[in-house]
Amino acid sequence: MNLRAGRLFIIPSRHRVLSLIFVALAIPSPVVAQSDHRDHFELHHWDDLVGSYEIESGRYLAIGLNWGGGLTYLDTGTGRFGTLTDSTNGRYADQSGFAIRFVRGPAGVITGIEWHEDGYPEQVANALGLKRENITIPSGDAVLAGTLILPPGAGPHPTIIHSGGASWIVREQVMDEALVYASHGIAAFIYDKRGWGESTGDKTVPFETSARDIVAISDYLRQNRTDLNPKQIGISTYSQSGWYGTLAASTSDDIAFLILNVPSATTVYRQEFQRVEHELRADGFSPEQIDEALSLMNLMSQFSRTGDGWDEYIALREGASEQPWFRYLFAPKTADPESWRWGRMNWEYNPLPALIRISAPVLVLLGEHDKKVLPEVNRSIFEMALDAAGNRDFEIMIVPDMNHSLVASQRGGRTEETPNQMVAEVIELRIQWLKSRL
């Protein structure tokens, strides 16, 4: 997993399309049923334990919150991450032997952590003293609730607005990455998705509405915060939010940069067909099984787009629901309009008109073994579209041996066991790319 700068290869191109020789990277299904309550997290830890701790110069341990309770950690030096549970005497540990204990000063304020992993002596990491502020921002008929995480110092700070993937609903789910940016002097804003958590509005909306939410956040921070640099507010997206993040950037000249993690440059329709086919292939399904799955996908797509063909679709679905490949599909069993509403809003969304209008600096990060967002298909589309936009500052990076979740992978399927480790150089790469443009 250890990578060296000498293994970074640049493919000659007027706009620098990069291929990173790394060793590893998930788009969830478009509709995900989850609770809208933030009480799935131990929110009292926000004001105490959550934060960033400096292990050594430029290397940080980000401590966040885990869905269902407990803490998460991300070591930016190694890319290692995991979930910590409370054990004894204030000690939090995971199953691999990694453990931390919080150190408090005379006033009871946490000043750092003692951390330990098997085979190594205990070490100390000092608290960075990041600041947090909860903010509500109006956006059309909704109010978006989020948290601004600020680096030490008065600023004005560059700022990144971070959105998650299809399963993201509340801010705590994208906290770790925000902490990493703040550790490097970049303020980060994370928020509850429209209609979830403490944000109001309809949960099911077209990408155009989600894009307007991002623009509303950008405008609010630019106009109301003297501690933020109004000319250095950009966005970071992951997977599904790449569709509406690029749409937001195409409609606002004030979005200063984009970092797109495993984004799709195709229609949602095409993306989902590619996902099903290549995930099944990676997990060892036969060509006949893949054809069966795609046949059901075709009928599902027809009904989603036109409202026609329900009888044929439901008959095939009933016969297929016990097949091992069925869980790879989004295939509602009822014609209830609510079950199909998201798809009818977004199924045929085409990002190309937005991509060809983006002039801000863009970083596109794709995974070689990503079976959800195919790297070669999407790399060429991004390059063509951004070139057509006349964009003179974009980089497209393909990270070998990584899957859609940005972790080490050899084949990228759903059933593959992967380590709890990102490639640390990817974390650093994003920071350095951003800092070079601020």
Of 278, 163, 158, give the one whose Cα is nearest residue 215.
Answer: 163
Sketch the domain layout of the chain as residue ranges: 5-28+130-267+348-435, 39-127, 268-346
- pLDDT of 1: 31
- pLDDT of 36: 63
- pLDDT of 111: 95
Of 190, 156, 147, give the one whose Cα is nearest residue 47.
Answer: 147
Say how many residues make up the chain.
Answer: 438
Q: Which two tokens stand for residue 215?
A: 């623009």
- pLDDT of 39: 85
Q: Which two tokens stand for residue 239?
A: 């997977």
- pLDDT of 197: 95
CATH of 39-127 among 3.20.20.70, 3.40.50.2000, 3.30.390.30, 2.40.128.50: 2.40.128.50
| Helix, strand or coil, per DSSP, at residue 419 | coil
Do the Cβ atoms of 271 and 296 come closer than 8 Å? no
* Pairwise CA distance, residues 98 & 93, whole Å: 6
**335: Cβ contacts below 8 Å, ≥ 6 apart:** 303, 310, 314
Do the Cβ atoms of 271 and 165 come closer than 8 Å? no
- pLDDT of 26: 34
Residue 429 CA, chain-centre distance (Å), reads 16
- pLDDT of 9: 36
- pLDDT of 6: 29
Radius of gyration of the chain (CA): 22
- pLDDT of 11: 36
Do the Cβ atoms of 369 and 402 come closer than 8 Å? yes
CATH of 5-28+130-267+348-435 among 3.20.20.370, 3.30.70.20, 3.40.190.10, 3.40.50.1820: 3.40.50.1820
Query: What are the per-10-residue average pLDDT scores of the chain (438 residues)?
Result: 33 42 35 62 91 94 93 92 85 90 92 86 92 97 98 95 95 96 98 96 97 98 98 98 98 97 96 97 98 97 93 96 96 93 95 98 95 96 98 93 87 89 83 94
* Pairwise CA distance, residues 397 & 292, whole Å: 34
Do the Cβ atoms of 23 and 1 come closer than 8 Å? yes
> Alpha helix (H) ranges present in 309-422?
310-320, 337-346, 352-355, 375-388
Q: Which helix (H) or strand (E) holds 411?
A: none
**133: Cβ contacts below 8 Å, ≥ 6 apart:** 147, 148, 150
Of 58, 46, 19, 164, give the one whose Cα is nearest residue 110.
Answer: 46
Please calculate the CA angle 243-279-95 and round it to the nearest 5 degrees: 95
* Pairwise CA distance, residues 280 & 291, whole Å: 10
